[in-house]
Chain A
Amino acid sequence: MDIVTFENVSKTYRMGQVDVAALNQVTLRIPQGAFTALVGPSGSGKTTALNLIGCLDRPSTGEVTVAGKRVDRLDRREAAVFRGEHLGFVFQDFNLLPVLTVFENVEYPLLMILDIPKGKRKPEVERALAAVEMADQARKYPAQLSGGQKQRVAVARALVGKPVLVLADEPTANLDSHTAQKVVDLMKRMRDEFGTTFVFSTHDPRIMEQAELTFHLEDGRLMDESVAGTEVRHD
């Protein structure tokens, strides 16, 4: 079953007097559970594609289906509800809330988005923190953590609500190679443990190699896709 499908999706931005095509007639399918990379140089459309999958933006044309639901015409509130219930996000800059402790950051989606009662929240947060090996840092604030630790907390926050799909925009861009590898290993382990589909954008070749499914974008077009070494060209 495909968790994400794009059918002839285009996204055009207006920059001054000029229309810029960030995505141009892209059609793709991401099967459930796939550890998927969107790759390409800067400006290739990776982030735009992630934003469309994440219901953060709407395509100019085409259809986007996520977890069996057409999401390309959701209004702001519907999109927010959908994101809260089905998606998790990991950001390049971690984007942890500085006023909250590690525990509270991971608790946030359960508390403020999914309205899970306190009794059920605590074990879920503890489980997520244990999974990313951050249980012993639960009382610390983000400012007290290293970049790698922050990203592990961000992964725990993305996973705690048991989303079907986690979207990560350049999750290793601000990490050294050793830490980046640890974060990728962690995401893979989480995929194996929770069965969550991971879709991430990257231009780091070492990270790309570890994806099971890779979509190569250039100038807003899908140039090719490869499934664990098998390449399919889109001309």
Chain B
Amino acid sequence: MIKTMRLALKNLMRYKRRTLLTGLLIGVGVVAVMVFVGLSGSFKQAIVGQITDSFLSHMQVHRKGYMASVDNLPLDRMMPAQAYQRLSAILSKADGVEAFSPRIKFGAMLSNYVQTTNVRLNGVDPEKEQAAAPLLSSRVLNAARTDVLLKPGDVLLPELLAKGMNVTTGDTVVLVANNKDGSVNGMTFMVAGLVEGLMGPGGRDGYMHIDDAAALLRMEEREVSEVAIRVRDFDGLDAVSEALRSEIEPILNQQNKPMFEVHTWEQLSPFYNVIRMIDIMTLGIKVILIAVVLISVLNVMMMSVYERVREIGTLAAMGTRPGRIMALFVAEGFSLGLASSLAGAAVGLGILMVLRITGVEVAFGGANQVFVLAPTISPGEVVSACLIVLAVSVLASVQPAAKAARLEPVEALRHV
């Protein structure tokens, strides 16, 4: 094997310029894949992190049927207190669940005593919410409280809505809401901060204490709209969600129908489609890399066989077995792929390192949301890019190599 590789390397260096140009082409392809994967990966990570850690959390559990009317924030499809208690007991023991936070979601009228507008609100337990969506506090501007997200009597208003209403931190506002029976209730609150907008569902919601929400809605017993769940390992989300589904979805209500439904962030956020588009683009880039490698190596190897017909005849005449002649040419393709992919990977890692140090600013969802990407790439992705190049290089070499091995020595020796 080693002797075959050594001879293959010598043959590759016979046409230095051609080999270097082909290697450069393949190497640039590897660099492009790595930089794209690194940038898109960190972009995905930043956006997904923002969405899940500052609002959605990783998973949500609702009463069955709630999601079908989620835009109406239906108060008659909330999770009854007993159901929540049961769910809470399950989540407390569930493997992989780091934290969970019950929420009461509802619509209300907001008044600053001069103007009135609609607002969507989330009643949350500040400590539990902070654990389930740890970046929420980073979205709060002009926060009145530094020790806690909010206290009873506080409301966090969406930034743009507050600006439109000319309301700011410290002001008093009135919130009026209908409960599920239709009766109206109003309470005054102090604005404890403004919540920066975020793309996706719930990205422009306000917050208040869950006890205040229950009081405003005159709940006789504590019902919740949803339970946001954060998992310990984001990469293991699917496993945790499957385990949770299998545990809670079979639970039936008094009408013998499923009581709960579980959704991951991917099912809740339209941004998941953007993520999928990025994944498809990554796949597209990899397909282009495959095409580049395939065409380049195939071209080089075919030219190599054509130019060395007489030499192949000599090798065969001397007694080199057809399998070894084939191995010689496949080894040339393999060596070309290996050297190019390693060089490309090294340059790609270097570029990613520079980008990581300098940072890449990306505006998304509005000028006020600028993410500084610090691109990284997993060792698996680097190995995968190199393996793709190697596999395709070998594949592209097989046909010319087989042609070389099949040459009749007597014909090959006559070749001019």
A109 to B319, Cβ gap below 8 A?
yes
> What chain B residues lie within 8 Å of A81 (beta carbons)?
319, 321
A83-127 to B contact mask, C-beta < 8 Å, 1/0: 111011101000101111000000011011100000000000000
Q: Is B11 an interface residue (CB 8 A)?
A: yes
Given A98-B14, A99-B11, A99-B13, is A84 in contact with B318 using a C-beta cutoff of 8 Å? yes
A108 to B317, Cβ gap below 8 A?
no
Q: Is A54 an interface residue (CB 8 A)?
A: yes
| Closest partner residue, chain A, to B310 (CB atom) | A95
Q: Is A130 an interface residue (CB 8 A)?
A: no
Q: Is B232 an interface residue (CB 8 A)?
A: no
B311 to A77, Cβ gap below 8 A?
no
Q: Is A25 an interface residue (CB 8 A)?
A: no
Q: Is A56 an interface residue (CB 8 A)?
A: yes
> What chain A residues lie within 8 Å of B317 (beta carbons)?
54, 56, 83, 89, 91
> What chain A residues lie within 8 Å of B21 (beta carbons)?
none
A89 to B318, Cβ gap below 8 A?
yes
Residues of B8-23 at the interface with A, using a CB-CB cut-off of 8 Å, are 10-11, 13-14
> What chain A residues lie within 8 Å of B3 (beta carbons)?
111-112
B319 to A56, Cβ gap below 8 A?
no
Complex Cα distance, B320 from A109, in Å, reads: 8
Q: Is B292 an interface residue (CB 8 A)?
A: no
Number of interface residues of B (CB under 8 A): 23
A184-202 to B contact mask, C-beta < 8 Å, 1/0: 0000000000000000000
Given A84-B319, A89-B318, is A112 in contact with B7 using a C-beta cutoff of 8 Å? yes
B324 to A112, Cβ gap below 8 A?
yes
Complex Cα distance, B315 from A51, in Å, reads: 15
- Minimal beta-carbon separation of B372 from chain A (angstroms): 51
B10 to A56, Cβ gap below 8 A?
no
Q: Is A57 an interface residue (CB 8 A)?
A: yes
B13 to A113, Cβ gap below 8 A?
no
> What chain A residues lie within 8 Å of B318 (beta carbons)?
83-84, 88-89, 108-109, 113, 157
Residues of B364-416 at the interface with A, using a CB-CB cut-off of 8 Å, are 409-410, 413
> What chain B residues lie within 8 Å of A76 (beta carbons)?
322
Q: Is B229 an interface residue (CB 8 A)?
A: no
B319 partner, pick from A51, A91, A111, A113, beta carbons under 8 A: A113
B10 partner, pick from A54, A77, A100, beta carbons under 8 A: A100
| Closest partner residue, chain A, to B324 (CB atom) | A112
| Closest partner residue, chain A, to B7 (CB atom) | A112
Q: Is A175 an interface residue (CB 8 A)?
A: no
Q: Is A131 an interface residue (CB 8 A)?
A: no
Q: Is B169 an interface residue (CB 8 A)?
A: no
The 6 closest A-B pairs by CB, nearest first: A84-B319, A83-B319, A95-B314, A99-B10, A56-B410, A113-B319
Given contacts A56-B317, A100-B7, list 6 more A-B pairs with CB under 8 A.
A83-B319, A84-B321, A89-B314, A91-B314, A99-B7, A112-B324
Partner-A contacts on B (CB < 8 A): 3-4, 7, 10-11, 13-14, 310-311, 314-324, 409-410, 413
Residue pairs across A and B with Cβ atoms less than 8 A apart, 22 shown, are: A54-B317, A56-B317, A56-B409, A76-B322, A77-B322, A80-B320, A80-B322, A81-B319, A81-B321, A83-B319, A85-B319, A95-B311, A97-B311, A97-B314, A100-B7, A100-B10, A111-B3, A112-B320, A112-B324, A113-B319, A113-B320, A113-B321
Partner-B contacts on A (CB < 8 A): 51, 54, 56-57, 76-77, 80-85, 87-89, 91, 95, 97-100, 108-109, 111-113, 157
